[in-house]
Amino acid sequence: MSKDSERYLQYLNSERKAARLYDALAELTDGDRREALLELAEIERRHAAHWIDLLERAGVEIPPDDETLDPDDKEVLQRAQQYSLDSVLTDLEEAEREAESVYDSEPDAPRNMSVDERQHAKVLRKLASQASAADLAATVATQKMEANRPFDAQAILANSENWHHVDKSGTARAAVFGISDGLVSNTALVMGFAGGGIGSSTVLFAGIAGLLAGAFSMAAGEYVSVAGQRDLFEKEIAIEAEELRTAPQEEERELELIYRAKGLDADLAKQVAKRIMSDPEVALDTMVREELGLDPDELGSPIKVAASSFASFAVGAIVPVIPYLFLSGSAALTLGIVLAVIALLVVGGTVGRISGSGTVKSALRQLAFGGGAAIVTYVIGHFIGIGLG
């Protein structure tokens, strides 16, 4: 038997195995979830038929399908029977994600097979999410799909639930962490030098040096991080655009399955998918949101995030330094401690209010950790100062 035929047999066994498991899991549920699992099983059988065709052309005897689950799949089915279908969907999604590129470098696999394998993980993820689609279905059925106005479920939810605050660009996140980091780190630095009995001018110099070093470090780190993330997102969007251009039917079927997994009935899901795919710009925007989970308008700006990080770190770091610009000795240290405590409470309270975790709780937590770091460095600096004479 040739190496090609051996490879075809491996693919055949894998596709048959997956189809049997999806069929078995479909028996545990009903409605659109059942239909989605049966559709996945049917796709696997179509893949298996392709490998059977190639094996027959090569004169290889096709092994019979014994229709039994292997031990690992039996364990998955038993777990689903004992607990619930949801208890295994995440594991299945992860397994599909690991195997989704299996046909990418296979010259004898049609291109749509790679597309199918990728959609399996996405459909399983939607099934696992158990997203309620009643409002979505009503909105989809009534919303006009105007030209250059893509359907955006996230925007609809944001308008109806305007108490949510989501910063997708990362700018606000960078600002909050920048202020907190600058305040805590530079307060600890100034306290460490002050505890060592160092002169006020040296403490001032150390504080300014810490401010500049930390601000530039934060800005550079955030720029590299967000730029790399944005490059990755843009690459994924470009790949999706190419898939829409070269395989629109497969993408339409994928979108249909996604909406069915969300809870839309088959006819409505097909109608929505076809309407969306009729406009290339709408289709790309929708697939990017639904398939990749990205907002193409909010990929993050490296420059904005870097500038925000620099400025916010500097704002936080300047607080313990201010007293040393006008005072010296214990007076500067005392005022610096007072300002740092107030700033820690304000920053912590602001974070708590924005996140909804509680203003007082967050403020006290910020004070505890920030103040603790400052006290430790002060004590260490004190003993080092004594040791150095």
Return per-residue pLDDT of the chain as tens, 389 residues: 688 888 888 888 888 888 888 888 888 888 777 888 888 888 888 888 988 988 888 888 888 887 788 888 888 888 888 878 877 877 787 777 777 777 877 888 887 777 777 777 777 777 765 433 433 443 444 343 433 444 444 444 344 344 344 444 455 556 677 788 888 888 888 888 877 777 888 888 988 998 999 889 888 988 888 888 888 888 888 887 887 888 788 788 878 887 777 777 788 888 888 888 888 888 888 877 777 777 776 777 888 888 888 998 899 889 889 988 988 888 888 898 899 889 888 888 877 776 666 788 888 888 888 778 778 877 787 677 655 54
Q: Same structural domain for residues 246 and 123?
A: no
Q: Same structural domain for residues 18 and 126?
A: yes
Q: Give the residue from 290, 313, 340 where a domain finishes.
A: 290
Q: Give the residue from 261, 290, 319 where a domain finishes.
A: 290
- Give kind and range of the element (H or E) at residue 305: helix 302-318
Q: Same structural domain for residues 306 and 263?
A: no
Flag whether 157 is in a domain: no
Q: Give the residue from 246, 270, 290 where a domain finishes.
A: 290
Query: What are the tokens at 75?
Result: 């364990």
Q: Same structural domain for residues 119 and 55?
A: yes
Q: Same structural domain for residues 222 and 318?
A: yes
The parent domain of residue 282 ranges over 230-290
Flag whether 149 is in a domain: no
Domain containing 47 — which CATH number? Answer: 1.20.1260
Flag whether 319 is in a domain: yes
Q: Same structural domain for residues 272 and 338?
A: no
Flag whether 111 is in a domain: yes
Is residue 106 within 8 Å of 8, Cβ to Cβ? no
Q: Same structural domain for residues 209 and 97?
A: no
Residue in 177, 173, 182, 183 with CA at minimum distance from that of residue 215: 182
| Number of domains present in the structure of the chain | 3
Name, in order, each residue with C-beta under 8 angstroms of 83's C-beta and a sequence gap of 6 or more: none
Flag whether 295 is in a domain: no
Q: Same structural domain for residues 206 and 270?
A: no
Q: Is the pTM of this model over 0.75?
A: no
Q: Same structural domain for residues 208 and 112?
A: no
Flag whether 165 is in a domain: no
Q: Same structural domain for residues 197 and 85?
A: no
Q: Same structural domain for residues 122 and 12?
A: yes
Q: Same structural domain for residues 372 and 272?
A: no
Flag whether 112 is in a domain: yes
Flag whether 145 is in a domain: no
Burial 286-297 (b: 16+ CB within 10 A, else e): bbbbbbeebbee
